[in-house]
Amino acid sequence: MLKSLLDRYRQHSNIRHALRSGRLQLDEGVTWSRDFSVKFTGSSACQMRVGRNSHLAGRFVVRGDGGIAVGSHCHFHEDSYFGSLAGIDIGDSVFAAEGIFIVDNNNHPVSPRRRRAMTLTPMGGPEWSWTAEGVDSAKVRIGENVWLGRACSVLKGVDIGADSIIALAAVVTRSVPPGSIVAGNPGRVVKTIAEGEGG
């Protein structure tokens, strides 16, 4: 019980610090769950903005010059992860189920030589940084009224069109047009939602 109280104190302390520094900006009516956390490690440009009446959950990490922008009336659930180095833009009325994973970068170098060099240095050193040489990144954009199914992943450079549905555990590696239903690994469009479909 004591550990739980200490964890909650640290969590709320981090959120208060992010708000005071201006890196975390919340519009009116924003709420968050007990597992919401935010971490900034980068230039003063890195920040997170959240629109009104959104609900936050999961871990948000912003590094380098990255940023996360969340629209209004969005709802996120527990055990999710968001990692930004280039930028993640999420439109209004996006719903995300538990355990989603959204990153705009590789988190590691692609080169086998650089990855080996990384593992031969102490964890947390410069070679482990998302900003290290050889780590690719590209903005992620999620349009309005998108549904993100449980345990789905959205990877760097992806643009998900408005009104789309990303199915359970789908791994989205390429952009999809508005009104798409995406499933599988790698994710592919399995259906297009017609205007007005389902009432």
Q: Strand, helix or coil at 11?
A: helix
- What pLDDT score was predicted for residue 134? 65
- Report the sign of the C-alpha dihedral through residues 145, 149, 151, 155, in that order: negative
- What pLDDT score was predicted for residue 18? 86
The encoded tokens of residue 187 equal 């994710």
Residue type, 186: P
The encoded tokens of residue 96 equal 């995300």
β-sheet bridge partners, residue 103: 83
What confidence tens digit (pLDDT) does each residue in 126-164 have? 777 766 666 788 999 999 999 999 999 999 999 999 999
Closest of 17, 24, 20 to residue 68, by C-alpha? 24
Residue type, 118: M
- What pLDDT score was predicted for residue 154? 98
- What pLDDT score was predicted for residue 19? 87
Residue 116, judged by CB atoms within 10 A of its CB (0-12, 13-18, 19+), counts as: exposed
- What pLDDT score was predicted for residue 41? 85
Task: Give the C-alpha separation, 128 to 135, whole Å.
Answer: 10
Q: Which residues of the chain have pLDDT under 70?
A: 1-12, 130-134, 196-199
- What pLDDT score was predicted for residue 126? 74
Domain 2-104+139-192 sits in CATH 2.160.10.10: yes
Each domain of the chain, given as residue ranges in start order, spans: 2-104+139-192
β-sheet bridge partners, residue 63: 41
